[in-house]
């Protein structure tokens, strides 16, 4: 986080609130929560919020794989969605519960599940919670997305929920050989690309914002994006494959 944002979080008083895209969210009285809140509204989640704004009017529910400390779940609840929020970290869930307590009106729309989502669990969880075209499925699980998305490919093809996936290629490490690490990351990206192929509309996010990939351009995506090394914040070396976010829908969205 830039020093100016860290200072803003440090100086934020108790009772601190944020208003991403005009949505009012109260923040728990915790320095860590305030720091995360300032970062959430600093622009780092702008692409995610743009996608949410585009699809939430069409959704009655969001399934949040990787709820962190609750801001995306609260944002969706504030727009009328009921939320199934999954977060395994004990430290994160403590802050998440504190943020829910700070927003009791919204908390009534959110059910917290203290469990991790892996390839084996994801399909079972989605079968239990239900999946349909009026669901927003958000996946932000620190590298496990490369296994989870292919594991639920059949469910995605059948139900076509709105889908938002954040990628963390630098968390895929197979050993000391960076070439093999990059091959593993690229293999994972290709598996994700195959899993989401049935969707009619595809969008991916870069530093320049959202780009729409028409079906006739998907072959170009392989060479011009997935196979191209790209700089990525937080990674020492350029990365192959998806490096930020991917969004899928069955209806055209005002993105890109």
Question: Domain extents for the chain?
Answer: 3-249
Q: What is the pLDDT of residues 79-124, one digit of tens each?
A: 999 999 999 999 999 999 999 999 999 999 999 999 999 999 999 9
pLDDT at 220 (0 to 100): 86
Q: What is the pLDDT of residues 136-150, one digit of tens each?
A: 999 999 999 999 999
Using a pLDDT cut of 90, give the percent of the chain over it: 76
CATH code 3.40.50.150 for 3-249: yes
Model confidence at 13, pLDDT cuts 50, 70, 90, reads low
pLDDT at 223 (0 to 100): 84
Mean pLDDT, rounded, for 130-141: 96
Structure tokens at 129: 């919670």
Is the pLDDT confidence value at 15 over 80?
Answer: no
Model confidence at 12, pLDDT cuts 50, 70, 90, reads low
Instruction: Characterize 202-217 residue by residue with b for buried, 16 or more Cβ atoms within 10 angstroms of its Cβ, and e for exposed.
Output: bbbbeeeebeebeeee
Q: What are phi and psi of 194, to 5 degrees?
A: -70, -40
Is the pLDDT confidence value at 1 over 70?
Answer: no
Q: Is the pTM of this model over 0.85?
A: yes
Report the alpha-carbon distance of residue 76 to residue 74 in Å, rounded.
5
Model confidence at 236, pLDDT cuts 50, 70, 90, reads confident
Query: CA 161, 41, 149 angle in degrees (round to 5)?
Result: 25
pLDDT at 118 (0 to 100): 94
Alpha helices in 58-213 (DSSP H): 71-78, 90-102, 104-107, 119-129, 145-151, 153-159, 178-195
Is the pLDDT confidence value at 162 over 90?
Answer: yes
């Amino acid at each position: 986080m830039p020093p100016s944002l860290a200072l803003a979080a440090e100086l934020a008083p108790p009772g601190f609130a944020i208003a991403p895209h005009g949505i009012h969210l109260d923040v728990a009285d915790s320095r860590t929560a305030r720091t995360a809140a300032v970062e959430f509204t600093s622009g780092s989640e702008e692409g995610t919020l743009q996608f949410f704004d585009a699809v939430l009017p069409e959704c009655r529910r969001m399934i949040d794989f990787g709820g962190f400390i609750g801001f995306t779940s609260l944002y969706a609840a504030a727009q009328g969605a009921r939320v199934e929020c999954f977060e395994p970290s004990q430290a994160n869930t403590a802050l998440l519960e504190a943020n829910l307590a700070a927003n009791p009106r919204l908390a009534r729309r959110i059910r917290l599940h203290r469990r991790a989502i892996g390839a084996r669990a994801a399909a079972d969880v989605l079968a239990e919670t239900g999946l349909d075209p009026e669901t927003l499925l958000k996946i932000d699980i620190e590298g496990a997305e490369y296994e989870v998305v292919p594991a639920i490919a059949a469910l995605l093809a059948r139900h076509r929920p709105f889908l938002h996936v954040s990628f963390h290629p630098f968390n895929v490490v197979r050993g000391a050989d960076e070439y093999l690490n990059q091959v593993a990351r690229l293999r994972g990206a290709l598996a994700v690309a195959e899993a989401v192929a049935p969707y009619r509309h595809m969008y991916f996010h870069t530093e320049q914002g959202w780009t729409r990939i028409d079906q006739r351009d998907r072959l170009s995506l392989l060479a011009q994006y997935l196979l191209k090394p790209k700089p990525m914040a937080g990674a020492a070396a350029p990365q192959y494959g998806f490096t930020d976010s991917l969004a899928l829908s069955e209806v055209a969205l005002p993105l890109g």
